[in-house]
Structure 1
Amino acid sequence: MTQKIKMYGAEWCPDCRRTKGFFTQNNIEFEYINLDITPDASKLVEEYNNGKRIIPTVVIHETAHSNPQNHELAAILGINKQGTVKLYGADWCPDCRRAKRFLQDNQINFEFIDVENTEGASEYVMKVNNGKRIIPTILINDTPYSNPDNNKLTELLHIDKVTDTRIYDVLIVGGGASGLTTAIYAQRDRFDSIILEKKNIGGNAFITKKIENYPGFKEVSGPDLMDRMEQQAATLGAKIETGVEIVSIERVGNFFKVYTKSEEYRAKSIVISTGSTYRTLGIPGEAELIGSGIHYCATCDGAFYRDKEVIVIGGGNSALEEGMFLAGFCKKVTIIHRGEKFSADEIYTEKLTSFENIEVHLNKKPKEFIADSDGNFDKLIYSDNETEKEGELTADGVFTFIGLIPNTKPFEGFLNLSNSGHILTKNLNQTSVEGIFAAGDCRFGAIAQVAAATGEGVVASYGLKEYLKK
């Protein structure tokens, strides 16, 4: 996708010559509009600059920049010594936030292209990803990479990582509500803490469009609430790193070594708050169509289906909540559930009746996803639980919400887990290994609610405080 750059200037202007030279040196295509020979150009410049005639005025993706210096242009256009970096994404995308944060933390200039508000951007993303809507898509010297993790970006951009040799009082694995709360309480107790998050700060709460049961708020958006928690933890002194995936933990004397895919960290105590991920159906066609019409997060991917028809699979609180969220901008939402009635709370089932563009199919079991000739989702085959007859639902996309799986695989064999994979704990959220605590959705017996998760973090902080005082 060619970026739209216009430069308004004049031949006698020294800064215009500098700017033109910068574009030429970096092989950047631009349209040059000479104010001295182009009618109405001066008037446009004045409109861009609130009545002032400032040149050069550079317009990039419809945004005007008044006499930008070369380093400012490099930052806007993503120009670095390693090459040019462009990030196609959206503000609501968790992995986009993770990638943006990584690039910013490592002083990498990048051009951010909003796929929702930039003409042709969404189509370009699908083109380079063989029809799949994958964001972030990051271009490094015009070579596209689909949602690269931080380790891959480190490799591609030749970033030198400095080993962290500090021994932290507490290392928190996971930056959701429980992990952030733990850090807030730990820092208030003067314990040096670090949060290592695999993806984005905020966890599943961040991708929740609207939270209506968090004390003190009639309603609050998940991103807003998680941003506030992150800011509070950081202000108190907690170190926060995203895109860091834990591989294993080892006790070495009186502290622990935490191994990631790229480096290791050391800490006197650990709190595991890795949360959970969405469960899949495991039916034919699902794995092949993920990203090509099948999704598990309405907040992340719902915007791709504005004014289109979608299917929501599930009957719990999440399924109905996300279904109603999608109904706010989709042409039609069809909810299909294998049970005879929804398992969601009554408040959700009551709200559901107010949506004219939501259709419900109960007692139906999904059997297979079918693709169209382009390899994108086309229809869902289901069977009726009473008659065993098959039927089909055609739509533009599918969103599945059938439960959660705890993110505890790296701790198998090291910590005691339940049959469901949740971490078993005792008093003050202490795990089977002294000095390691668990909090949030990954802990056995926890309630998957944001308010409950913050309480889990408080309990874990008291446990680690008692342990560290020994």
Structure 2
Amino acid sequence: MNNILLYGADWCPDCRRAKAFLNDNNIDYTFIDVDLDKEATLKVEQINNGKRIIPTAIISGKSFTNPSNVELSAVLGINEVGRVQLFGADWCPDCRRAKNFLKDNSINFEFIDVDENEWATAKVEEINKGKRIIPTVLIEGVAYTNPDNVSLTELLSINVEKEHKVFDTIIIGGGAAGLTTSIYAQRDRFNSLILEKKNIGGNAFLTEKIENYPGFNSISGPALMDKMEEQAKTYGAEIKTGEEVVSILKKEGLFNVETKSTTFLSKTVVLSTGSTYRLLGIPNEKELVGSGIHFCATCDGAFYRDKDIIVVGGGNSALEEGIFLAGFCKSVKIVHRSSEFSASKTYVEKLEAIDNISTYLNKTPIEFIASENETFQSLKVRDNDSNKEELISADGVFIFIGLIPNTSPFKELIDLDERGFIKTTGLAETSVNGIFAAGDCREGAIAQVAAATGEGVLASYGIRNFLK
């Protein structure tokens, strides 16, 4: 459990103040009297560079020297509506989204990193019936699993006022295409707003290593997306995460972009909503998502350190993520329904040199098998030649079999192709005048970061022509 340590002495006024504050807010802690414990005195001196300063508190492994009540409120998540604790990890996109939302609305919260605190991982599993789901948020001790911004607004009684500012362009989606569109629009002196359902960076943020983006021999997806976000903000772009767009209507010459929480106004709209991971569509798949079935190695791979995992797929993404997972997993078993991988030769050659990767080619997944605890246990596959079935056991499975465009909210608004991708002409123009599309959601798009940035530039030129 999270054992808060407070080093102090009974004669110390600030120690008494800190103790009273913790008691008043029903915070469990252990008080260690430095007058009675010589090791405690040495610990305080070690923390404070040889100085005996009390009170000194240790919270979630971090030390705080004579923290004020305001500082204690901030680090422990104490608010008028109650105490807020967020269990998560720095690599988790939804954790970043929740943290940004709480910060933007001046909500104090205690962030507890599950990677740094074993007790936190156990707590998350206890709350979620064995599932390692983050973020998990506790508000006054009541747990909420991955609450969206709308839920947090209601739970924390946050007062959200409607936006009346009219933007030159609203960009729906904060991946490489959306960020690039914003950068170019801002340079043209057009004010832009990025609305992102989850976290800035899109699928590129979930990529462990990018080796084909010009200017970088190798860079992590999060690092590259952070640079793009920083550049967009430097030019003046506004960014709001956790804002899921539900409809777009044109009234009196302006686009009304409605999210689950409010409405924004704009002269133009850019759809850069990207895509989501495709499912296999076999028994027990949906039931086991989050309980052993995953779609993002960067997000969930850390849970399987020194364990056995399965990767399903045979394209670039499957092999790239499989190689990444092999770096810290005990073994990686790659299952592909065809007799040959469709990935580039570069990835296939890398695969052959890694000892803890084995391949299961020409085998079609037909069912996920659950354990007694209702978590993933094994994958049943059928050999395409012999029709013989076998079980492949592992601790977890990652699926990389393609993407589906995130365009369903707009199917009645603009023209889509038979697969759901947005049809465009000219400068990224859709069938609706003033609405543009860029990135993986667009028909004919190349699912690469470099291509997405180019499409963002194209969309920005479409905006410029429309507004001028």
TM superposition score normalised by structure 1: 0.99
Compute the displacement of 1:40 (Å).
Answer: 2.3
CA distance in 2, matches of 1:281, 1:310: 17
CA distance in 1, matches of 2:329, 2:212: 25
CA distance in 2, matches of 1:405, 1:101: 27
- Partner residue, 1:261: 260
Deviates more, 1:27-36 or 1:317-326: 27-36
- Partner residue, 2:189: 190
1:134 aligns with 2:133: yes
1:403 aligns with 2:430: no
CA distance in 2, matches of 1:194, 1:331: 44
CA distance in 2, matches of 1:35, 1:125: 34
Specify the code of the residue in structure 2 equivalent to 1:163: K
Q: Considering only aligned residues, what root-mean-square deviation do their CA atoms show, in Å?
A: 0.7
- Partner residue, 1:6: 5
Deviates more, 1:265-274 or 1:8-17: 8-17
- Please give the secondary structure, in 2, of the residue aligned with 1:256: strand
CA distance in 1, matches of 2:247, 2:61: 47
CA distance in 1, matches of 2:107, 2:60: 20
Compute the displacement of 1:346 (Å).
Answer: 0.8
CA distance in 1, matches of 2:153, 2:410: 26
CA distance in 2, matches of 1:382, 1:203: 31
- Partner residue, 1:418: 417
Compute the displacement of 1:253 (Å).
Answer: 2.6
- Please give the secondary structure, in 2, of the residue aligned with 1:214: coil
Compute the displacement of 1:359 (Å).
Answer: 0.4
- Partner residue, 1:83: 82
CA distance in 1, matches of 2:331, 2:159: 49
1:113-132 map, 5 Å? 113-132=112-131
CA distance in 2, matches of 1:330, 1:401: 17
- Partner residue, 2:248: 249
- Partner residue, 2:304: 305
1:320 aligns with 2:311: no
- Partner residue, 2:48: 49
Compute the displacement of 1:62 (Å).
Answer: 2.1
Compute the displacement of 1:108 (Å).
Answer: 0.5
- Partner residue, 2:96: 97
CA distance in 2, matches of 1:444, 1:142: 47
- Partner residue, 1:384: 383
CA distance in 1, matches of 2:443, 2:359: 33
Number of residue-to-residue matches in the alignment: 468
Compute the displacement of 1:39 (Å).
Answer: 2.2
Specify the code of the residue in structure 2 equivalent to 1:206: F
- Partner residue, 1:443: 442
Compute the displacement of 1:284 (Å).
Answer: 0.3
CA distance in 1, matches of 2:131, 2:37: 43
Compute the displacement of 1:426 (Å).
Answer: 0.2
- Partner residue, 2:230: 231
Compute the displacement of 1:133 (Å).
Answer: 1.2
1:320-399 map, 5 Å? 320-399=319-398
- Partner residue, 1:280: 279
Compute the displacement of 1:225 (Å).
Answer: 0.6
Structure 1 residue ranges, 4+ long, deviating more than 6 angstroms after superposition: none
Compute the displacement of 1:259 (Å).
Answer: 1.2
CA distance in 1, matches of 2:22, 2:412: 56
Specify the code of the residue in structure 1 equivalent to 2:462: G
1:292 aligns with 2:300: no
- Please give the secondary structure, in 2, of the residue aligned with 1:120: helix
Specify the code of the residue in structure 1 equivalent to 2:358: E
- Partner residue, 1:202: 201
- Partner residue, 2:172: 173
- Partner residue, 1:108: 107
CA distance in 1, matches of 2:317, 2:330: 20
Compute the displacement of 1:44 (Å).
Answer: 1.0
Compute the displacement of 1:252 (Å).
Answer: 1.3
- Please give the secondary structure, in 1, of the residue aligned with 2:38: coil
Contact 2:170 2:193 in 1 (8 A): yes
- Please give the secondary structure, in 1, of the residue aligned with 2:248: strand
CA distance in 1, matches of 2:302, 2:212: 25
Deviates more, 1:116-125 or 1:336-345: 116-125
**Deviation digits for residues 177-198 of structure 1, max 9, x if unmatched?**
0000000000010001100000
Compute the displacement of 1:61 (Å).
Answer: 2.1
Deviates more, 1:29-38 or 1:437-446: 29-38
Compute the displacement of 1:12 (Å).
Answer: 1.8
Compute the displacement of 1:255 (Å).
Answer: 1.4
CA distance in 1, matches of 2:91, 2:372: 30
Compute the displacement of 1:294 (Å).
Answer: 0.5
Compute the displacement of 1:168 (Å).
Answer: 0.5
CA distance in 2, matches of 1:406, 1:414: 15
- Partner residue, 1:153: 152
Deviates more, 1:105-114 or 1:249-258: 249-258
- Please give the secondary structure, in 2, of the residue aligned with 1:429: coil
1:14-33 map, 5 Å? 14-33=13-32
Specify the code of the residue in structure 2 equivalent to 1:44: K
Structure 1: runs of 5 or more not aligned: none
- Partner residue, 1:460: 459
- Please give the secondary structure, in 2, of the residue aligned with 1:419: coil
CA distance in 1, matches of 2:235, 2:14: 44
**Deviation digits for residues 392-442 of structure 1, max 9, x if unmatched?**
100000000000000000100110000110000000100000100000000
- Partner residue, 2:162: 163
CA distance in 1, matches of 2:252, 2:427: 23
CA distance in 1, matches of 2:4, 2:254: 54
CA distance in 2, matches of 1:296, 1:42: 49
Contact 2:2 2:119 in 1 (8 A): no
Q: Identity over aligned residues, as a percent? A: 62
Compute the displacement of 1:260 (Å).
Answer: 1.1
CA distance in 1, matches of 2:145, 2:42: 42
Compute the displacement of 1:235 (Å).
Answer: 1.3
**Deviation digits for residues 348-379 of structure 1, max 9, x if unmatched?**
10111121000001000000001011111111
- Please give the secondary structure, in 1, of the residue aligned with 2:118: coil
Specify the code of the residue in structure 2 equivalent to 1:195: I
**Deviation digits for residues 298-349 of structure 1, max 9, x if unmatched?**
1111111110000000000000001011101000000000011000011110
